[in-house]
């Protein structure tokens, strides 16, 4: 996420820490960042290292220590030092969101987006826009800021990120009930993921697109995609019968079952949903968290409705 303008011992340690952090090696990354804090070099590297130590300790569950690191970074952070300032603001916003200070976090991320666009830190501007989308609960705000994320990605030539930004826009549009626009967004996401060679993400965008097409009433388009999605999910599951692939199989089978129900084949749809439930069980949904439990309840509700229709 950084640009590194001036070399120094702390800068090389920051680079190493970022590489480890991006590969989820948090403890190893923390060691590099801690060394960077105490090494000589450009000021921004010290501030960024403090911010990242705050981020890691927060992720590891120690909010008190996270605040200590952020306070240490804030002592030397200034708006005239864009790299240090922007990363410190980003992590501060993440902690504000965790503490339930949603409005403060949203405002901070919005201000950070403007600051980063003005200082040509387009990757960080994109990250700030994405944080607004994640933090806000208002679909209209999410749509606006998904668009700003797309603007930042295009301005910075960050074409590998366009699939994700268009996908986030599609989710927001779907929540807002703007199905025609959501289908365009998910198609764009699917195309960008395909260009980037991100097969898994392309598959998920295709699944979202099939669902939106069904809800729009484009059953021909939905059937075409749902069939190809199910074939892809089956191939992945046969190659590696993991919990993740069982989950994907379940969702693709569910989409096909919904289409069967719309075609008047309630008995076949109900049988398909029973298979979905078995796949979700294989994926660990019965022992999962709140989301998994809610999805099982939603599936059971659909089975009850379709079952009643088949009587």
- Contact between 50 and 72 under an 8 Å Cβ cutoff? The reply is yes
Q: Which tokens go with 74?
A: 């804030």
41 and 70 share one domain? yes
d(CA 237, CA 65): 42
Cβ–Cβ < 8 Å for 49, 17:
yes
Domain for residue 108, yes or no?
no
What CATH number does residue 198 fall under?
A: 1.25.40
Which of 165, 196, 215 represents a domain boundary (last residue)? 215
Considering only residues 41 and 219, tell me which one the structure prediction assigns the higher pLDDT: 219
Taking residues 48-57, what's their average pLDDT?
A: 96
Q: Quick one: 207 and 290 in the same domain? A: no
In a domain, 112, yes or no: no
Same domain, 206 and 264: no
| Domain span including residue 147 | 121-215
Contact 64, 93 (CB under 8 A): no
Q: Is residue 278 part of a domain?
A: yes
Residue 110 in domain: no
Q: CA 95, CA 91: separation in Å to the nearest integer? A: 6
Domain count across the chain: 3
- 163's CB contacts (< 8 A; 6+ apart) are 189, 190, 192, 193, 195, 196, 198, 201, 202, 205
Tokens 């989950």: give the residue.
247
Residues 55 and 127 in one domain: no
Check whether residue 174 and residue 261 sit in a common domain.
no
- Indicate the residue among 67, 100, 133 that finishes a domain: 100
Do 190 and 267 fall into the same domain? no
For 146, counting Cβ atoms within 10 Å of its Cβ (0-12 exposed, 13-18 middle, 19+ buried), the class is: buried
| The two structure tokens encoding residue 109 | 């991320």
Same-domain pairing of 77 and 170: no
Mean pLDDT of 89-114: 96
Q: Give the whole-angstrom CA distance, residue 294 versus residue 1.
A: 35
Calculate the CA dihedral of residues 156, 127, 15, 26 and round it to 10 degrees: -160
Same domain, 41 and 24: yes
The answer to whether position 114 is within a domain reads no
Q: Rounded distance, CA 176 to CA 149, Å? A: 18
Position 10 in a domain: yes
Structure confidence at residue 117 (pLDDT): 97
Last residue within a domain, chosen from 171, 200, 215: 215
How far, in Å, CA of 199 to CA of 2, rounded? Answer: 27
DSSP string over 235-255: HHHHH---HHHHHHHHHHHHH
CATH of the domain at 43: 1.25.40.10
Burial class (CB in 10 A: 0-12, 13-18, 19+), 264: exposed
Mean pLDDT over the full length of the chain? 93
- For the stretch 104-150, pLDDT in tens is 999 999 999 999 999 999 999 999 999 999 999 899 999 999 999 99
Give tens-digit pLDDT for 190-238: 999 999 999 999 999 999 999 999 999 999 999 999 999 999 999 999 9
pLDDT of residue 308: 83
Residue 210 and residue 221 in one domain: no
pLDDT of residue 311: 58
Q: Within this chain, do residues 149 and 187 fall inside the same structural domain, yes or no?
A: yes
Same domain (yes/no): 85, 32: yes
pLDDT digits (tens, 9 = 90+) for 244-294: 999 999 999 999 999 999 999 999 999 999 999 999 999 999 888 899 999
pLDDT of 254 reads 97
Whether residues 69 and 141 share a domain: the answer is no
Query: Which of the pair, 55 or 9, is modelled with greater confidence?
Result: 55
């Amino acid at each position: 996420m950084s640009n590194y303008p001036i070399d120094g011992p702390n800068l090389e340690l920051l680079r190493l820490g970022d590489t480890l952090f991006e590969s989820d090696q948090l403890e190893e990354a923390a060691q590099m960042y801690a060394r960077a804090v105490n090494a000589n070099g450009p000021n921004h590297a010290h501030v960024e290292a403090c911010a990242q130590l705050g981020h890691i300790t927060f992720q590891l569950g120690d909010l008190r220590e996270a605040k200590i690191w952020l306070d240490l970074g804030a002592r030397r952070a200034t708006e005239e030092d864009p790299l240090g300032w922007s990363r410190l603001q980003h992590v501060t916003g993440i902690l504000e969101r965790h503490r339930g200070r949603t409005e403060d976090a949203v405002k901070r991320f919005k201000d950070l987006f403007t600051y980063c666009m003005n200082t040509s830190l387009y990757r960080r501007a994109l990250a700030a826009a994405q944080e607004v989308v994640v933090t806000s609960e208002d679909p209209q705000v999410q749509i606006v800021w998904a668009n700003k994320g797309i603007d930042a990605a295009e301005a910075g030539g960050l074409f590998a990120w366009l699939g994700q930004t268009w996908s986030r826009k599609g989710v927001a549009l779907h929540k807002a009930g703007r199905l025609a626009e959501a289908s365009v967004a998910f198609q764009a996401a699917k195309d960008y993921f395909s260009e980037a060679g991100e097969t898994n993400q392309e598959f998920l965008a295709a699944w979202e697109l099939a669902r939106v097409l069904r809800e729009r009433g484009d059953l021909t388009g939905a059937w075409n995609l749902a069939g190809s999605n199910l074939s892809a999910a089956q191939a992945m599951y046969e190659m590696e019968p993991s919990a993740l692939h069982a989950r994907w199989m379940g969702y693709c089978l569910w989409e096909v079952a919904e289409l069967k129900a719309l075609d008047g084949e309630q008995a076949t749809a109900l049988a398909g949903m029973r298979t979905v439930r078995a796949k979700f069980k294989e994926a660990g949904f019965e022992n999962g968290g709140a989301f998994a439990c809610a999805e099982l309840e939603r599936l059971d509700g659909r089975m009850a409705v379709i079952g009643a229709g088949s009587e």
